[in-house]
Amino acid sequence: MSAEGTWLMKPVPGASCAVIAEVAQAHDGSLGFAHAFIDSAALCGAAAIKFQTHIAAEESTPAEPWRVKFSKQDATRYGYWKRMEFSPEQWAGLKSHAEERGLVFLSSPFSFAAVELLRKLGIAAWKVASGELTNLPMIAEMARDKKPVMLSTGMSPYSEIDAAVDVVKKAGAPFCIFQCTTQYPSPPDAIGLNVLDELRARHKCAVGLSDHSGTIYPSLAAVSAHKAEVVEVHLTLSREMFGPDVAASVTPAELKQICDGVRFIERMRAAPADKNETGEKMASMRGIFLKSVVALSDLAKGTELSRANIGLKKPGGGIPPDKFESLFGKTLKRAISRDQQITFEDFA
């Protein structure tokens, strides 16, 4: 899926939906794995690849608690963030690789230093993680570029969402608000697709779904039922990979289903049907599938027609079924062979 024409390139409500493959920390600090995710997302048809840019000393302290203590390698959460860091040169290499594969490169910053690193890379748009939605000074710093800003809202009520939106509006940047559920994985009754319509009505903006269900269904429903302009899903190269987000991620095969499904849904929506206008193609199909009145046996001239000697069989094109009973009692003026269609000219 090319990003051209999607909200990422044309950030206005009603733009074609962009599918973002979220890597987050699934690379587990391996630069090679990070590049492998780029190739996978491109093959699946995603419009963008998204990472997270962590600089431990700028965003965290050794006292930060674990969300889930999953790592036997890292003694502290701070140490884990440190291991997730890439150098500016490595980030530049990831961005170049993504663009070579036709993907928009995105990364969520978690500090002012990360914002500046990404700004120097020439990032196309900003993604604000749910945990940073109340970090209004950092959002203001991102929005001053007037590049598109995507706001995830996983842990925030409307008061906090409204405050973040006001900061972006004041800067004059286009924006999209994401419904997001901060559960890994999210069960069906926690997805909250209704919020997409509420956000669109409240802020007259594009809306997106950042999904953590680990399935294809919420993304497709968001596009078909709520016309989301962006959907974001976590990507794992395999269900057997290491990391806290694997259960909330989709596989490459599932990501491809989402990308293909989004395009299919948009094509359906763009081609409304008129049931009163069958057209030439439907006329030929009607001839194949519909039925006509035929003789059930060889009928001699002068035979009186009845349910016993005429029936309804394919193909169509002759006397239609709705005229069937009106033929009872009529007399043939010529002989008719078995299975031959009867016409109105055959009656005396």
Taking only the tens place, the pLDDT of each residue in 8-24 is 999 999 999 999 999 99
- CATH number of the CATH domain containing 35: 3.20.20.70
Of 60-69, 229-238, 243-252, the one with minimum mean pLDDT is 60-69
Q: For residue 194, tell me if it sits in a domain.
A: yes
**Residue 339 domain boundaries:** 279-346
What integer pLDDT is reported at residue 66 of this predicted model?
78
Quick one: pLDDT at residue 311?
A: 96
Write the Ramachandran bin of 42: left for phi over 0, alpha for psi from -120 to 50, otherwise beta: alpha
Average pLDDT over the chain, rounded to an integer? 94
CB 60, CB 81: distance < 8 Å: yes
The string of DSSP letters for 142-172 reads: HHTT---EEEE-TT--HHHHHHHHHHHHHHT
For 95-104, 202-211, 273-282, which range has the lowest pLDDT when averaged over its residues? 273-282
What pLDDT does 315 receive? 93
* Within-domain flag for 8: no
Task: Please provide the size of the chain in residues.
Answer: 348
* pLDDT higher at 174 or 3: 174
pLDDT of residue 174 exceeding 80, the answer is: yes
Answer whether residue 10 is part of any domain: no
Confidence category of residue 278, pLDDT binned at 50, 70, 90 = low
List the beta bridge partners of residue 232. 20, 210
Mean pLDDT of 125-149: 97
Domain boundary among 218, 243, 269: 269
Return the higher-pLDDT residue of 182 and 159: 159
Query: Are residues 100 and 142 located together in one domain of the fold?
Result: yes
Same domain, 27 and 166: yes
The span from the CA of 19 to the CA of 45, in Å, is 8
Looking at the structure, tell me whether residues 39 and 105 fall in a common domain: yes
Residue 242 falls inside a structural domain: yes
- pLDDT at position 166 is 98
Instruction: Over range 176-183, report the average pLDDT.
Output: 95
Residues 338 and 306 in one domain: yes
In a domain, 115, yes or no: yes
Non-local (6+) Cβ contacts of 324 within 8 A are 293, 310, 312
Task: Report which of 299, 302, 312, 307 is spatially closest to residue 332, judged by C-alpha positions.
Answer: 302
Question: Does 210 share its domain with 243?
Answer: yes
Cα atoms in the Cβ-side hemisphere of radius 13 Å centred on 154: 18
Kindly state the average pLDDT of the residues 285-313.
Answer: 94
Count other C-beta atoms under 10 Å from residue 82's C-beta: 16
For the record, the structure tokens of 234 come out as 């976590």
CATH number at residue 340: 3.90.1210.10
Give yes or no for a cis peptide into 174 (omega within 30° of 0): no
Q: 1 pLDDT exceeds 60?
A: no
Q: Which amino acid appears at position 172 of this protein? A: G
Dist. CA 152–CA 233, nearest whole Å? 13
Provide the pLDDT for residue 261.
98
Q: Pairing state of beta strands 206-211 and 310-313?
A: unpaired
pLDDT of residue 335: 95
Residues 200-217, mean pLDDT to the nearest whole number: 98
What is the per-residue pLDDT for 203? 98
Confidence category of residue 279, pLDDT binned at 50, 70, 90 = low
Q: Are residues 194 and 333 in the same domain?
A: no
Nearest by Cα to 177 from 220, 226, 219, 230? 230
- Cα separation of 348 and 77, whole Å? 95
| Tokens found for residue 217 | 């269904």
Cα 322 from Cα 339, distance rounded (Å) = 18
Closest among 36, 43, 55, 17 to 219, alpha carbons compared: 17
Is residue 171 within 8 A of residue 165, CB to CB? The reply is no
**Whether residue 46 sits in one domain with residue 117:** yes
Ramachandran sector of residue 217 (left: φ over 0; alpha: ψ -120 to 50; beta: rest): alpha
**Cis-peptide into 315, omega within 30 deg:** yes
Which among 269, 303, 337 is the end of a domain? 269
CA distances from 76 to 59, 61, 79, 169 (A): 14, 10, 5, 38
Give the pLDDT confidence of 70-105 residue by residue, as tens digits.
777 877 889 888 999 999 999 999 999 999 999 999
Q: Is residue 57 part of a domain?
A: yes
Considering the domain architecture, whether residues 92 and 40 belong to the same structural domain is answered as: yes
Give the integer Cα–Cα distance in Å for 218 and 335: 63
Same domain? 132 vs 256: yes
pLDDT at 156 (0 to 100):
96
Cα(304)–Cα(342) distance, integer angstroms: 13
Residue 295 lies in a domain: yes
Choose one of 217, 246, 269: the last residue of a domain.
269
- pLDDT interval class at 2 (50, 70, 90): low
Q: In this structure, are 288 and 262 located in the same domain?
A: no
Residues 265 and 311 reside in one and the same domain:
no
Mean pLDDT, to the nearest integer, of 144-173? 97
- Reference 147, options 113, 110, 199, 109; nearest CA is 109
Q: In terms of domains, do 248 and 311 share one?
A: no
Number of domains in the chain: 2
DSSP for residue 304: B
